[in-house]
Structure formats: structure tokens, C-alpha cells
Amino acid sequence: MNATGKFAGFTVGLVVIFGAALALGSVVGPDVAEPAAHTTGDDGHGAAGHDAVADPTPGGLSPTADGYTLELASDQVTAGPAVPVQFRITNPSGVPVTDYTPEHEKLLHLIVVRRDLAGFQHVHPTLDAAGTWSVPLDLTRGGDYRVFADFTPAGGEGVTLGTDLRVAGTYDPQELPAPAPTTTVDGYTVTLDGTLRPGETSNVTLSVSRDGRPVTDLQPYLGAYGHLVALRTTDLGYLHVHPDGHPGDGVTAAGPGIDFAVTAPSAGDYRLFLDFQHAGAVHTAEFTATAAPEEK
């Protein structure tokens, strides 16, 4: 069914709509509804600081949390470089949400990654008056993808919802890269300093250099010098954290180091994705990191 046909029924009675939303949450997979997790700092939504209070429960494990539901217009598409994807967020009454509180300069952050943790994308869809979000995604490679919607409904708290999107096409599963302190992207070298500890808030620094020289003129991107998404490799449990400080606060340097406070909910491997902007372009550096208890 196309998006128009699927979403037309949203206006035919709140009871029917709410029942459909609950049914969708029960058939997407082994997901179970649970509260969304954010590392909360001075901006109230995901901005991690040294004094942050961290919820160790990962978010995005279910399409339904706190009464809100993520509904894709279609949960299966054909592979392509710019595949149109539409979805809605419904509220506890089953009505599409149209009023959001901007967080980090956007009404909603959409994170998309294949289940083997390849093909990461952080995009910002457009919202129409009826509550339908639309965005083209690079889904050139087939496979099962996880779609995370990170948002704050007006007057509410931050929520992260997750659901699966199946992409028909050639599937080339990738091995998880081994943990390493350094990675490269688009000619930049990014170094990770710090160790993740399960159940604890760990301070880590990601430093950016180019051609062997530290980058000291990072540009603000969505109100920060860097954005970090961490996904637990076992179930793609989602953490979205932000760096200490803010551009223009008179204290926070524009590189080379970006400091984060990250709470790993459990021991094991995590995939880290750092978005940063320099010379007018946004780049994404990827790491594998292991959270292990401190040896005594």
C-alpha cells in the first residue's frame, strides 16, 4: 500500500487508530515497549556533561515508548540511492504528532543504519501539516535496517523510537570492525581517548586532525562541535550523547578535542558514530569500542 492509502485511515476514529498502533508495535519483531533513554545534561535532551544524570537503559529497542509510536508508511522498499521514506509519530491517543520542540536545531533526528552497523545516516526529514515525515535515504545496499526517531513532543520529554525497514536488493553483510583508537574519514584522522565502563558514565575525547595537524577550527553543527551516536552491537540499543560545552560559550574550544560523557548500559561492543563539521562539510567518523569492567 502506498503512503497516501495507508495514512488516509488515520482520521477514521481514534479507537481504531489506537488499536492499529498497538498492533503494529506487537508485530514489528521481538521489540517490547520500554522507556526511551537519553543522557541528559544542561539542555535537557541528550547533552552530556560531567555532571549529567545518565539513564543506563538504551532507547530505540521498540517502535512504541511512553505512549508514542513510530509508524512507517511501508516497512519494505527496493534498494536505491535516494529512496523516499515516509513515517508518522502517533501520540498516546493514536493521533499523529504535529507539534514538536526543536532539539539541537531540528524537530526530529532520524538515525538509520543497517543491522550489521553499515550504512549509517543521520538525517532530518521534513514534516507536513498532517504529521507525515518525509526523507530520501541512501539505501543502495540491500538488507535489514534499523530506523531510529529521536524527538521531543511539545510539552513532553525526549523519546527515541526504533523500527525495522527491509530493503530488497543485494545483501553484502559486513564484519564488525575490530576496536581501534584511530579511524580515518574523508582525509581526516580521528582519535578516541577514553574507555567505556558498563553501567558508568565514562569521559571520552574524540580528537580531529588533518594532514598530521590538529584541527582547531571545527564549525558548529546543529549547535555543537560534534554529535555522537552509540549503538550496542547485540541489539542496536541506542545512545545519543552530545559534547561538553557549547560553541561560543567562551570556554569550549573548536577542536581538536571534543569531550563526551557516555554511559554504556552493559558490557560488550558498541559502534560509535561521530558527526563533525569542518570547512563547510559534515563528516562521520566510525569506531568500535568495548565496554568492560575495570580490572582490579
CATH number of residue 259's parent domain? 2.60.40.10
Contact 200, 263 (CB under 8 A): yes
Residue 4's SS3 state is: helix
Cβ neighbors of 27 (< 8 A, separation 6 or more) are: none
Start-to-end Cα distance in the chain: 57
**164's grid cell:** 525495522
With residue 227 as reference, give the H or E element that holds it.
strand 227-232
Instruction: List the 281-291 sheet strands across, edge first.
Output: 238-241, 227-232, 268-278, 281-291
Q: What is the pLDDT of residue 34?
A: 39
Say if 240 falls within a structural domain. Answer: yes
Say if 23 falls within a structural domain. Answer: no
Specify whether 107 is located in the same domain as 194.
no
Specify whether 109 is located in the same domain as 191.
no
Number of domains observed in the structure of the chain? 2
Nearest Cα residue to 270 out of 240, 254, 246, 290: 290
Q: What is the pLDDT of residue 246?
A: 93
Residue 24's SS3 state is: helix
Indicate the residue among 118, 143, 168 that finishes a domain: 168
Q: What is the pLDDT of residue 35?
A: 38
How does pLDDT run along the chain (296 residues), one tens digit per residue? Answer: 444 445 544 433 333 333 333 333 333 333 433 333 443 333 334 333 333 334 568 999 999 999 999 999 999 999 999 999 999 999 999 999 999 999 999 999 999 999 999 999 999 999 999 999 999 999 999 999 999 999 999 999 999 999 999 999 999 999 999 999 999 999 999 999 999 999 999 999 999 999 999 999 999 999 999 999 999 999 999 987 878 999 999 999 999 999 999 999 999 999 999 999 999 999 999 999 999 998 87
Specify whether 161 is located in the same domain as 241.
no
Q: What is the pLDDT of residue 10?
A: 40
Say if 194 falls within a structural domain. Answer: yes
Domain that holds residue 112: 64-168
Cβ neighbors of 8 (< 8 A, separation 6 or more) are: none
State the residue for C-alpha cell 574524540. 206
